[in-house]
Structure 1
Amino acid sequence: MTTAVIKSGQGIRSELSRALKDQSRRAGAEDPNVRGSDYRMVTVSAVNADGTVDADGIPSIRCMETYLLPTVGDVVYATQSSTGNWLAWGRGSTGAFALGSIVEKIKTGSTGRASTATIAADPHLTFAVVPGTYRIDACIFYDADAAVDLKLGWIAPASTTGTWWPGGSDSSNTTQAATTRWGAVTDIGTGTLPVAGIGAGTIVTCRPTGTAVVTTAGTLALAWAQQSGSLTATTVRQFSWLSLRRTA
């Protein structure tokens, strides 16, 4: 009888010990202080010259390549390895145009406009932007009557500043072996410049590029029309594209 009681007590202690170990294991799996790794959202307080940032009292968090243009005040995803090293993966998305990001659009169909010299946004090459500085790059395939040409410009939020260049043939040209228009425009959203057409149905190209400094959220779009109104349509062709990169 005594032996049976002892064995029974040992069994209870064994079960209790096993339950306590399981409980400790579960608690450790949930506690970064035990498991030695962590994941959290942190706010950047300093950007260091060695490719690290400080955030929420954590020094020298190494920036991954996915974290572009780190800035004080960024809310970023950071993880810690079991050896204690920290990595900053990138900003948490706000649903807006993130600093350092590149967005691109390609025209999914051709657009023709006739009898108008008033520029309007291209239906495909349009972006919603937030305040910041943007690098603009575009490649426009088009055709226009030699007497009509293509007039380029931009739709931009109020108070947007910047400079751009149409990157195309001078409007006086009538052949593909033509002189490039080198003049630039020192505003975004107001000024326009024409590039040459050499005949309806004959496709030529231009490469608008520039910088836009946006101070108010809104729409930034390539805008265009005929340089002089004509019943013969000027057409911006499918597969033209516009790319924006936010740099500040």
Structure 2
Amino acid sequence: MSTYPAWAAGQRITGAGLRASLPEFITKTTDESVTNSTVLQADDHLQAAVEAGATYTFELQLFMGAGDSNGDVKFGWDLPAGSTLHFAGTGAHTVAITTGTNGPVEFFAIRNATAASVLGFGISSGANTWVKLEGIVTVTTAGLLRLMWAQNVATATATRVLAGSWMELRRRA
């Protein structure tokens, strides 16, 4: 099993090495909304710099504001060229959730995701909902790993990712 950073016997433990072993934690500080658009857009907060030649795991907990249950939400990624991404998500079913009701939960996974790969989940018109995304990315060129999202079906009622949503990114190799 590989670890990052790799410590050797007798090696001096440095502050920089210890910091490198900690996950990066990003919290969304304000609500963000998309109205009448199915075009993926980069989230204003949930993104992080990634290094060339590195492998990272990530987890996101996304709190979705009540909106139009016909609009729902879809998620994808923007990542550096040549990167390999596998991700999965759990959230409300896109067609089964209605005003303030408990609906079935769906789980999806995508291997070798591309810019066109998206996962869609339901939102409620009467209550906030939740989506969890997680995965692993191997980066070949440095850049940004950015969450992309939009309405699954364009509606005039805003689809919102709420403040307090978060992303944790941990380098593994």
Q: Give the TM-score of the pair, scaled to structure 1.
A: 0.61
The answer to whether the Cα contact below 8 Å between 1:171 and 1:194 also exists between their aligned partners in 2 is: yes
The answer to whether the Cα contact below 8 Å between 1:151 and 1:195 also exists between their aligned partners in 2 is: yes
Is 1:101 equivalent to 2:22 in the alignment? yes
The answer to whether the Cα contact below 8 Å between 1:120 and 1:155 also exists between their aligned partners in 2 is: no
Cα distance per residue 1:163-190 (max 9 Å; x no partner): 1112112212214422222221113452
The answer to whether the Cα contact below 8 Å between 2:97 and 2:104 also exists between their aligned partners in 1 is: no
Instruction: Give the one of 112, 115, 124 matched to 2:33.
Output: 112
The whole-number CA distance in structure 2 between the counterparts of 1:182 and 1:225 is 19
**Equivalent position of 1:165 in the other structure:** 88
Q: Which amino acid aligns with 1:207?
A: K
Q: Aligned to 2:91, what secondary structure does the other structure show?
A: coil
Unaligned runs of 5+ in 1: 1-66, 73-85
Which 4+ residue blocks in structure 1 deviate beyond 3 angstroms?
A: 90-93
**Equivalent position of 2:14 in the other structure:** 90
Percent identity between the two aligned chains: 28
**Equivalent position of 1:134 in the other structure:** 56
Residue-pair matches, total:
165
Cα RMSD (Å) of the superposition?
A: 2.3
**Equivalent position of 2:79 in the other structure:** 156
**Equivalent position of 1:146 in the other structure:** 69
Cα distance per residue 1:173-211 (max 9 Å; x no partner): 214422222221113452001100111x62100110111
Cα distance per residue 1:6-59 (max 9 Å; x no partner): xxxxxxxxxxxxxxxxxxxxxxxxxxxxxxxxxxxxxxxxxxxxxxxxxxxxxx
Superposed, which structure 2 residues align to 1:52-91 within 5 Å? 68-70=4-6, 88-90=12-14
The answer to whether the Cα contact below 8 Å between 1:138 and 1:207 also exists between their aligned partners in 2 is: yes
Q: Give the TM-score of the pair, scaled to structure 2.
A: 0.85
The structure with more radius of gyration: 1
